[in-house]
Chain A
């Protein structure tokens, strides 16, 4: 099995999807000749031609809007929005149309498209290049919101997203693009959307995370084991919406304690929905309130102050200890 970083793993998923299905197209800014600013679409245009890997004009709304039209016709466009911070220029197309066409047309049409966006901080980037705004998409019914945490699941989730008959927002953590290599099988592999995975089994406490925060949660679990002798379970959501509530409830029924970790600002973020789901499904098992470790409710901090804003291992460990001591 070759060892690939997340960029190469995503590229492999795209390549195989396009090879397998002539209806799969890629479009976005700089995705063709340049292979995308992060090189995720590298070499695809050379292999599949400029009609299938489209260097679009620079306009997010029309990238998504024309992809909706392609999907209405039966194609399966995979769009790249260069940074998730720019997606507000196409947010109306996503909310008004991607998410609603199936309902509006009562099943006559559906929108089998994927919108890939690099998200998140810790890469010393400018404003609009560092945000974590998955909560907006997770709130929209009709969309699926997926965030992988490493090369292998990134590839398998992207392959599943492209095959999915409904629109999928696919966030790729910039911090993970080159962070690590994993063995990724050459033959096509998918994992089902809407299912969380237990990234590490434990019994004393559940840490819930996704995307780049899974790594932070796993490291925090190591610290808790080494320094406190505590055995923390780590759940990797993989899909934010639809949320795998059963996985959360099952874990918390076992551990009685939960800490949610995300890069999105705390208020009205995914952590709130996760905490409410745990309350609904595992209230009588709870030994402590569900805690959230999240970015602060500020618009933008600049990378010089980013470290104090994005959850890190010490903050997660501290929250876990407070939960255990409650």
Chain B
């Protein structure tokens, strides 16, 4: 029996449009209106400034541990920017910039990181899942959402986020496999930031790229310069259009770098060198995009200042939010509170002092059966 080479031979593309020296491939440059480019830059700067502000809030004890995004603004914004409001975004836990772009109020995210579950509640018309912490476990949810949308005949694309570490988890592989078999409209966006806490990519996988993992599942995979927002946008545009046209899922690997800590509880000097960080700082996604906009005369004046004011206002709203009422921990366990839990709630009510309602605010609704809230916004 012969040993033959199977066709087709697989290949993985790498896409870069605007490099860190400011070189631009005009043939590949996406045709984005000036207004869109400004909005994109604005969202990235907001992500960066908020990140810095949140680190300070954490150090001051005003919020708890969180995962900064510094360095990954292009990866998440270039991709999320391609979504429409009716599309779904499925985040992990390092997508602050993209989540705000999608419609999460800043103060809500701050609440979330201050340990208040209210911060994880998307608005009723928002097609976003809340933050998922167990690594890669949100990826099958994205596939299920996409299956359901397809089943209902809805014109919806689902975009799911995760990091390089997630590609070692079974759920990543199962999700890609199911997505391939079911041929559903989902785009997997890997923010390969080189480090899963202290473990570098080379100890995470022996594959040359993460993008090539898609090929085993019969999906297209592409690697892009994740610090080049134009390249990320172009790749995501292509993937979203493919999904929307009924041509199935795509895996996008954004090669980027976590310039900051894994979370505010982490000390990266234990596992990586200053030289490495300095080398990646040269590739900062904001620097090159700013230069690009400057050349096109699209930079807004006083942008940073206005963003800082917006953040300061959100921080004020966050800090004037009502304190967490312990009794509400029973409100969303089941649609209807079982007798057991009612008794536990009463026990607590007898023990805990009542949280005074803030002046001018309506009192908390009494506990009881929460209404069935169908998630359906579109009908078959």
Contact = CB atoms under 8 A, between A and B. Distances in A.
Interface stretch (A203-211, A227-235, A240-248): A240-248
B27 interface: no
Interface in A49-75: 51-52, 56-57, 59, 61-62, 64-75
A2 interface: no
A57 B145 contact: no
Given A69-B143, A69-B145, A75-B151, A59 B178 contact: yes
B355 interface: no
Contacts of A109: 129, 375
A242 B335 CA distance: 13
A62 B184 CA distance: 14
B137 A92 contact: yes
A56 B178 contact: yes
Given A67-B144, A68-B144, A62 B335 contact: no
B171 A62 contact: yes
A5 interface: no
Contacts of A69: 140-148
A142 B335 CA distance: 9
A289 interface: no
Nearest to B186: A69
A265 B373 CA distance: 39
A57 B333 contact: no
A61 B120 CA distance: 24
Contacts of B149: 73
B372 A165 contact: yes
Interface string B327-341: 000011111001111
B177 interface: yes
A73 B144 contact: yes
Contact of B141 (A59, A65, A103, A164): A65
Contacts of A220: none
- Chain B CB within 10 Å, residue with most, of A69, A97, A102, A165: A69
Nearest to B145: A69
A166 interface: yes
A59 B174 contact: yes
Given A104-B130, A107-B370, A66 B140 contact: yes
Interface string A69-86: 111111101000000000
B120 A65 contact: no
A102 B332 contact: yes
Contacts of A102: 332-335
Interface in A193-228: 194
A320 B142 CA distance: 52
Interface in B334-359: 334-335, 338-341
A103 B335 CA distance: 10
Nearest to B334: A166
Contacts of A68: 140-141, 144
Interface in A150-187: 164-166
B117 interface: yes
A96 interface: yes
Contact of A62 (B174, B338, B376): B174
Contact of A65 (B118, B124, B171, B376): B171
Nearest to B174: A62
Contacts of B142: 69
Contacts of B121: 105-108
Contacts of B335: 102, 110, 164-166
B174 A97 contact: no
Given A68-B140, A74-B148, A108-B121, A57 B334 contact: no
B254 interface: no
A267 interface: no
Nearest to B116: A106
A262 to B, nearest CB: 19
Interface string B147-166: 11101100000000000000
B312 interface: no
B120 A74 contact: no
B373 A108 contact: yes
Contact of B177 (A59, A71, A72, A97): A59
A72 B117 contact: no
B374 interface: yes
B181 interface: yes
Given A62-B174, A107-B121, A142-B334, A51 B151 contact: yes
Contacts of A144: 334
B376 A105 contact: no
Given A57-B177, A245-B340, 18 more contacts: A57-B181, A65-B137, A65-B139, A65-B143, A68-B140, A69-B146, A70-B144, A72-B129, A73-B145, A75-B148, A92-B137, A93-B137, A103-B333, A105-B332, A110-B372, A165-B335, A165-B372, A242-B338
24 contacts: A57-B174, A57-B181, A59-B178, A62-B143, A62-B171, A68-B140, A68-B144, A70-B148, A70-B151, A71-B144, A72-B141, A73-B149, A74-B376, A92-B134, A92-B137, A104-B117, A104-B130, A105-B122, A106-B120, A109-B375, A141-B333, A142-B333, A142-B334, A242-B334
Interface of A: 22, 25, 51-52, 56-57, 59, 61-62, 64-75, 77, 92-93, 96-97, 102-110, 141-142, 144, 164-166, 194, 242-243, 245-246
Interface of B: 117-118, 120-124, 129-130, 132, 134, 137, 139-149, 151-152, 170-171, 174-175, 177-178, 181, 331-335, 338-341, 370, 372-376, 380
List 10 A-B pairs, minimum CB-CB distance, nearest first.
A69-B144, A65-B140, A73-B148, A242-B338, A62-B174, A66-B144, A106-B121, A69-B141, A74-B376, A69-B145
